Amino acid sequence: MVTAIVITSIVLKTLLIVLLADFITGFVHWLEDAYARPEMRFVGGIARENLLHHEKPRDFLKKNWWQSSYDLIAIGLVVLAVSWFAFGEISVWLILLMVLSINGNQIHKWSHQNRMERPALVSKLQDWKILQGVRQHAKHHSGLKNTDYCVITNVMNPMLEKLNFWVGLEWAIWRVTGVVRRQDAI
């Protein structure tokens, strides 16, 4: 018989994994926005796509799931393979983390769609504040576009912004390396 402690543990672990996926995808989003430059050899294309996305936020909706997620799938498969070869197993928690992270771009796309364009279940999850909605994500696209990088939930951004996390991280990078945030991104 499953006890209340086991159920509570599963629920809490699931919530933590969702928040971790939100943070990881937000961190990658921040790196792309702040430091990827169009002239960079391997990430120049990503920088150009981000600049276009900030100029025309709905333009990336033209891409299907595969086109906007293939690179995340590759990274997710590498992470799972490393886990398998290093530890001889792949935990359900790592699978959940990879599934959420791989779908980060799709969840991001939903926050740019109107109610008629999204699946009804997604709209409900946004209404219930489980997935990030249009209004919450709009904060990232207003002003300097240097806040609110996490796109999965509505939980991480307020905490990270209250802590000045991204500003502090950029300051630390500047102090240690002398590298400054990409100026055309603000």
36-71: pLDDT as tens digits? 988 988 888 888 888 888 889 899 999 999 999 999
pLDDT band of residue 91 (cuts 50, 70, 90) is: very high
Does pLDDT of 169 surpass 90?
A: yes
C-alpha distances (whole Å) from 51 to each of 44, 110, 145 are: 11, 19, 11
On whether residue 184 sits in a domain, the answer given is no
Domain that holds residue 46: 4-179
pLDDT band of residue 175 (cuts 50, 70, 90) is: very high
Query: Could you tell me which residue, 26 or 45, shows the higher pLDDT?
Result: 26
Nearest CA to 138 out of 165, 156, 157, 111 is that of 111
The three state secondary structure string of 38-87 is CCCCCCHHHHHHHHHHHHCCCHHHHCCHHHHHHHHHHHHHHHHHHHHHHH
On whether residue 186 sits in a domain, the answer given is no
Per-residue pLDDT reduced to its tens digit, 103-144 = 999 999 999 999 999 999 999 999 999 999 999 999 998 877
Residue 145: per-residue pLDDT: 75
Distance, in Å, from the CA atom of 165 to the CA atom of 176, rounded to the nearest integer, reads 16
On whether residue 185 sits in a domain, the answer given is no
Query: Could you tell me which residue, 55 or 80, shows the higher pLDDT?
Result: 80
Can you tell me the mean pLDDT for 140-169?
Answer: 92
Residue identified by tokens 């699946």 is 119
On whether residue 139 sits in a domain, the answer given is yes
Structurally, the chain folds into a number of domains equal to 1
Residue 185: per-residue pLDDT: 56
- Residue 112 DSSP one-character state: T
Rounded to two decimals, what is the model's pTM? 0.91
Give the whole-number percent of the chain exceeding pLDDT 70.
98
On whether residue 73 sits in a domain, the answer given is yes
Can you tell me the mean pLDDT for 22-46?
Answer: 92
